[in-house]
């Protein structure tokens, strides 16, 4: 989790805006800009033209058990769901296939109780995960999903790592300067933001190195090695 509470974010942003107090009332622009930045960072894939997907391990979650009901074609998604990654049927120990909504609607037998059975596929529609075929019994399902963080209030902290606290402040400042039409400060703040993000985006790629095989030169073939071409 982040180190900055919402109250600390407010202090940091006001400092960047020259300690102005006219953004506090009657509309709490300071709080609005902070939460807009936080939600945008954690819910979007790209930021200010940066062609990079943002991945936050802290936002990946597994739901509580989602029990199906005989004859009911769907289960509810967790309330904080942004996207569903996969659905696992723990009763039958198998992942369900993700299908398109058109494929689900085109399937026959959805209203036929004789066509019910253990679900093999799923598609999300709003707050529900629809299953194909319609379950004929109780099956324990689990959804693996990415969370949508709640807005910050009081002293609450972010769900993501503290290394992103400064990024949120800079993003909020960008939104503030854009709203005010202060394009000189906006330009500089965007440059600072891009530099800060460039320092961070490769952090989580380090985990992937354990999944890959790298071709490395045998030390004996080095320029000074026994089998090398050097002198």
In a domain, 181, yes or no: yes
In a domain, 213, yes or no: no
In a domain, 214, yes or no: no
The residue segments making up the domain with residue 109 are 59-147
Of the candidates 50, 42, 82, 87, the one whose C-alpha atom is nearest the C-alpha of residue 68 is 87
Contact 131, 107 (CB under 8 A): no
Q: Are residues 73 and 39 in the same domain?
A: no
**How far apart are the C-alpha atoms of 149 and 78, rounded to whole Å?**
12
> What is the per-residue pLDDT across 80-105, written as a single tens digit (0 to 9) for each?
999 999 999 999 999 999 999 999 98
Q: Are residues 87 and 45 in the same domain?
A: no
pLDDT of residue 113: 65
Q: For residue 207, with 0-12 CB atoms within 10 Å meaning exposed, 13-18 middle and 19 or more buried, which class applies?
A: exposed
In a domain, 222, yes or no: no
**How far apart are the C-alpha atoms of 188 and 62, rounded to whole Å?**
40
> What is the per-residue pLDDT across 98-139, written as a single tens digit (0 to 9) for each?
999 999 988 877 666 667 999 999 999 999 999 999 999 999
pTM of this structure: 0.80
* Number of separate domains in the chain: 2
In a domain, 186, yes or no: yes
In a domain, 79, yes or no: yes
Percent of the chain exceeding pLDDT 90 equals 67
In a domain, 223, yes or no: no
Contact 168, 40 (CB under 8 A): no
């Amino acid at each position: 989790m982040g180190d900055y509470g919402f109250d600390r974010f407010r202090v940091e942003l006001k400092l960047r805006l020259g300690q102005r107090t006219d953004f506090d009332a009657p509309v709490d622009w300071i709080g609005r800009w902070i939460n807009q930045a936080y939600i945008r960072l954690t819910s979007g894939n790209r930021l200010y033209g940066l062609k990079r997907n943002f991945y936050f391990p802290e936002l990946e979650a597994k739901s509580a058990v989602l029990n199906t009901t005989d004859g009911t074609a769907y289960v509810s998604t967790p309330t904080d769901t942004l996207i569903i990654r996969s659905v696992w049927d723990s009763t039958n120990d198998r992942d369900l296939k993700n299908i398109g909504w058109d494929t689900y609607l085109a399937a026959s037998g959805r209203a036929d109780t004789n066509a019910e059975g253990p679900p093999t596929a799923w598609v999300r529609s709003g707050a529900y995960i629809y299953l194909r075929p319609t379950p004929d019994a109780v099956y324990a399902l689990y959804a693996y999903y990415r969370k949508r963080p709640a807005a910050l209030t009081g002293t609450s902290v972010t769900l993501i790592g503290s290394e992103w606290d400064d990024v949120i402040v800079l993003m909020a400042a960008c939104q503030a300067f854009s709203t005010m039409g202060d394009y000189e400060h906006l330009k500089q703040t965007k440059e600072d933001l891009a530099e800060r993000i460039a320092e961070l985006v490769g952090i989580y790629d380090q985990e992937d190195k354990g999944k890959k095989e790298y071709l490395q030169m045998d030390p004996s073939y080095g320029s000074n090695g026994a089998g090398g071409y050097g002198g």
